[in-house]
Every structure is written in structure tokens, then in C-alpha cells.
Amino acid sequence: MTEVRLRGVTAGYGREAVLDDVDLVVREGTTTAVLGGSGSGKTTLLRVVAGFLRPRSGEVVVGDRTVAGDGAWVPPERRGVGYVRQEGGLFPHLSVAGNIAFGLPWPRRRHRDRVLELLDLVGLPSDLADRRPDQLSGGQQQRVALARALAPRPGLVLLDEPFSSLDTALRAATRDATARALRATGATAVLVTHDQSEALSFADQVAIVGGGGIRQAGPPRVLYGEPVDAEVAEFLGDAVLVPGVSSDGRVLCEFGALPARGYVPRGDVEVMLRPEQITLTAAGAGQLDAVVLRVAYFGHDAVVELDLPDAASKHGIRARVVGHQPPEPGDKVGLVVVGPVRAFPQR
């Protein structure tokens, strides 16, 4: 229910600026995932919005209030912004109920209904209310931390890698519970993560942080299909990069002439396509033929490394195929490229 707006935000620790002139808008009631490598400044961004770190310049607007910049400064406790960190950070001296009710005004802390309501919201049984934090599993701790952050009904919730300390199975379940709870409350959410698939599946908007700024922000499908450069493309997922030449919105490369999406630079280009855009058929039936070099089998799918006998580039051609009947090394196969590709200026 709250829009967040960062304009020209510069922030850091000591003399070093971690964020340099960052702009970002998170629309009301949506979820934005901030994706970046370690040390890219994604947590710093969150700390600026939460009010734990004062930006050196720029403006932060939460809802209709300027909380930082232009001489204004609203301390964290008056921002109405929920914060969930990586290891939960539950208060060890309080029970689960005490933690959840922590941010409520005193008279309402006595009532259990709100606590039980919140436990239910994050998908935890009500009999956990009297446990101590160290009697909970990691996933349960994260859910309690979320319930605690949601209790004062914040318009905005910030999540700092809340799932990264959990193992794979627990991670998916906790992530789904979090997404459900956030949808139910209608709160705007900003999630910081270094996990690409988490960012793409969780959020309405993904913002990629790197080199002190936002490299690209947009809906997951747009980002995945139309990354601004090869680096962002590889950061978001597996990418096949081959040389090519562009003309009239089409690119010519070793796969033949292919349609391109987004802005297409002129002349020599680097052509990017996702491995799942390459499908395998019988030899001779595709746009061109190839020989299978290696197969990495993952169960649900498999990545097939291919050798193109007629092409200039011999390496890095990979196709992602469904896992139930992958080819064997040495098989001759035909290739078909599905959907438009992306072209970047030659590096």
C-alpha cells in the first residue's frame, strides 16, 4: 500500500561509496527483488530504505513522505517499514508470541488474537506461540520474523536474503509462505537476494545491482529476454553467446537468420540466446545439424553441449532439453531455434 521512490541516492561506509546515484521505483503493493553479487550494495540499498543508514545525498520517499534527503530525516522507528533479515534475528529473551507482539502498542500486546492471526498468516500452527526462538527450526524462525515485521501493519516490508540460510526444500516452502502472507496483507515488498531463480519467481519487478548502481530493472520476463548487456544476461541465467551481423532487425549468425527483440545495434554484434531456445530434432530435420559432445543430466532437465561442424565458434553451444529422454554423446541431432534472440554491440 506504499510506493517507494529512490532518487539519486549515494550511500556507503567510511569514505567508500557503495551506492552511487541510484534511482529505483517500487510500485504500490508490488514485490521487487533486488539481485546482485556479494558486495554489490544490495543490502546497503535496503538499509537506506529502512533508515539504518543515512544516505550522503539523494532522496528516499516512502509513501507520501520524504524520509531522507532535502534536509528531511525520519528515523527507522517512525517509517512504518518492516524488516526481516537473513538469520531472522529474533529476540532470544522473548517467546514466539513476545517476538510477534513486540512492535504492537502496549495494551494490544496482551491480546493473543493478533499473535495467532499472524501465526496463521505465515502458515505456522498456533501452539508454537509459547516456544522460545531456539526451539524453532530455521524456516520457522524466518516465518516468525516475518510475522513480527507484519504485526504493526507496515505498508512496506524489506526482506534481506531471508531464505538464504535455509536448505533447498525448506527454502521453497518458506518462500511460498512468505509470498502468500505478503499478498494477503497487500504490503509492498523489497526482497534482496543473490539467487536468480528466487528473484525471477518471487517478484513483479527485478532490479539488478552492480558497480554501485542499478544495472537494469523491470518485470522478470523482460529482464530475462531483453537484458541490457551480456553481463546482465549471464547473471540472470545461462546464456549462449555467438558472433553475428545485424540488418533490418534480424541477425545473421551460425544458426542462420534469426529475428531479434528489443533494440538492435547495427553491424557486428554479439548474439545472445537462452539454451532452452534451442530444441533438438532428428538429424537433417532442423535448421542445422550438430553432434552431441557432452550431456549434463539434472533429472528434470538436461544440458546438452553441442559441436557445430560447419560453424566458426566451436564452444559454448548448449541446449536445455526436458530430462526424460536426453541424447547420448556422439548422437547426430538437428537444431531449431525458437523465439527471437537478443543482439548486443560487439565487446
Partner 1 sequence: MPASSRTRAAATAASGARVATGTRGVAVARRGIGAGTRGVVAAATAVTALTVLPLLVVLADASSAGLAEAADFLLRPRVGELLGSTGALVAVTVPATLVLGTLAAWVVERTALPWPGLWRTLLLAPLAVPAFVSAYAWVTVAPWLDGLAGAALVTTLAYYPFVFLPVAALLRALDPSDEEVARSLGLSPAAAVVRTVLPRLLPALTGGALLVTLHLLAEYGVLEMMRFQTFTTAIMQRYAVGFADSTGSLLASVLLTLCLLALTLEVVARGRRRVARVGSGAQRPAPRAALGAWTVPVLAGLVAVVALALVVPVGTVGRWLLRALAEPDASSAGLVQVTVATIGLALLGGLAAIVAALPGAWLVNRYRTTLAVLLERATYLASALPGVVVGLALVTIAVDWARPVYQTTWLTVLAYAILFLPRAMVSLRAGLAAAPPELSESARSLGLRGPATLVRVVLPLMAPSVLTGFVLVTLAVSTELTATLLLAPTGTDTLALAFWRETSELDYAAAAPYAAVMIALSVPLTLLLRRHVLEER
Among 22, 24, 42, 83, binds partner 1 (CB under 8 A): 83
Smallest gap from Cβ 69 to partner 1, in A, equals: 14
Does 224 bind partner 1 (CB under 8 A)? Our answer is no
All 3 cell numbers of residue 222? Answer: 523482460
Does 213 bind partner 1 (CB under 8 A)? Our answer is no
Smallest gap from Cβ 96 to partner 1, in A, equals: 15
Residue with Cβ nearer partner 1 (29 or 76): 76
Among 51, 139, 162, 275, binds partner 1 (CB under 8 A): 51
Neighbour count for residue 277 (Cβ, 10 Å)? 19
All 3 cell numbers of residue 21? Answer: 546515484
Cβ burial 214-249 (10 Å sphere, 16+ → b, else e): bbbbeebeebbbbbbbbbbbebbbebbbbebbbeee
Closest CA to 178 of 195, 191, 197: 191
Q: How far is the C-alpha of 347 from the C-alpha of 334, rounded, in Å?
A: 30
Among 29, 76, 219, 334, binds partner 1 (CB under 8 A): 76
Which range, of 75-83, 113-121, 232-240, 303-311, touches partner 1 by CB under 8 A? 75-83
Smallest gap from Cβ 83 to partner 1, in A, equals: 4
CA 150 remoteness from chain centre: 21
Does 265 bind partner 1 (CB under 8 A)? Our answer is no
CA distances from 223 to 18, 93, 215, 261 (A): 24, 44, 11, 12
Tell which positions 120-159 bind partner 1, by CB under 8 A.
148-149, 151-152
Q: How far is the C-alpha of 166 from the C-alpha of 240, rounded, in Å?
A: 31
Among 38, 64, 71, 93, binds partner 1 (CB under 8 A): 93
Question: Which helix or strand (DSSP H or E) is residue 11 part of?
Answer: strand 4-13
Collapsed DSSP state (helix, strand, coil) of residue 138: helix
Q: How far is the C-alpha of 308 from the C-alpha of 183, rounded, in Å?
A: 47
Smallest gap from Cβ 154 to partner 1, in A, equals: 8
Smallest gap from Cβ 152 to partner 1, in A, equals: 6
What φ, ψ does residue 210 adopt, rounded to 5°?
-175, 150
Could you tell me how many residues of this chain bind partner 1 (CB under 8 A)? 29
Q: How far is the C-alpha of 277 from the C-alpha of 266, rounded, in Å?
A: 23
Residue with Cβ nearer partner 1 (78 or 221): 78
Which range, of 83-91, 234-242, 253-261, 318-326, touches partner 1 by CB under 8 A? 83-91
Does 111 bind partner 1 (CB under 8 A)? Our answer is no
Contacting residues toward partner 1, per CB under 8 A: 12-14, 47, 50-54, 75-83, 85, 89, 91-93, 102-103, 148-149, 151-152
